[in-house]
Structures are given as structure tokens and as C-alpha cells.
């Protein structure tokens, strides 16, 4: 399963549960980063760029119209949920920002080894 398929599966699970699991997202990033960690940063960036772009697209779509995102990913569209639907997109966006910052810090430490 490639990185985009794994991202799609992560979002399907998040939409079905109406919750963004930060631990699962972090584990996904670690699984994806492990096989390319030895590559130069430019190649790692090239590998992650489609992943980051699609994730940003999903976050924007979740903020705009979560049912449209559900339909795109093949998740049944549910009736109105009592859960704040904007919260999923907000937490996803915050987690992506944090993960990107930590990846940058890790890259700096690798550069000085």
C-alpha cells in the first residue's frame, strides 16, 4: 500500500469514527518516514510532497464539506452528528503543522551528526 493509499485509509477511519487520532497519524508518518529516512532531504521531500498535498486537500475539504470528503473516500454519508464536525479538520490541521515542525527539527539534527 503506497503512502497515498495509507493516507486515504487513515482519513476513512477518522471520518467513520468522527475523531482524529493523533497517535495513529504520528504512527502513519513514522511508518512512511522509516524507509526513506536514509535518503537526502531533497528526496525525502519529493517522496512526501504528494502525501502533504493530498492531506492538505482533505483538511480543506473537511472544513468546507465533510460529507463531500466522505463521498470521495467511499465512506457512507451520515446524518447530522452531535459531534462538532469542524473539530476533526481543526485537529488534523494542527497535527500536520506539528508533525512538519518535528520533521524539520529531526532533519536539522541529522544534518549536524
Question: In the chain, what are the domain boundaries?
Answer: 3-73+83-111
Using one digit for the tens of pLDDT, what is the confidence trace for 29-69? Answer: 899 999 998 999 889 889 989 999 999 999 889 888 989 99
**pTM exceeds 0.85:** no
CA atoms within 13 A on the CB side of 46: 5
Cell of residue 71, nine digits? 463521498
CB atoms under 10 Å from CB of 55, counted, come to: 22
Spatial CA neighbour of 25 closest among 52, 46, 45:
52
Amino acid at each position: 500500500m503506497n503512502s497515498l493509499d495509507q493516507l486515504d485509509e487513515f482519513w476513512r477511519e477518522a471520518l467513520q469514527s468522527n475523531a482524529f487520532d493523533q497517535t495513529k497519524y504520528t504512527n502513519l508518518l513514522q511508518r512512511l518516514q522509516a524507509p526513506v529516512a536514509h535518503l537526502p532531504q531533497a528526496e525525502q521531500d519529493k517522496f512526501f510532497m504528494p502525501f502533504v498535498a493530498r492531506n492538505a486537500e482533505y483538511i480543506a475539504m473537511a472544513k468546507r464539506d465533510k460529507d463531500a470528503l466522505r463521498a470521495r473516500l467511499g465512506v457512507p454519508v451520515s446524518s447530522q452528528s452531535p459531534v462538532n464536525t469542524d473539530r476533526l479538520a481543526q485537529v488534523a490541521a494542527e497535527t500536520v503543522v506539528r508533525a512538519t515542525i518535528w520533521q524539520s527539527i529531526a532533519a536539522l539534527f541529522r544534518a549536524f551528526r
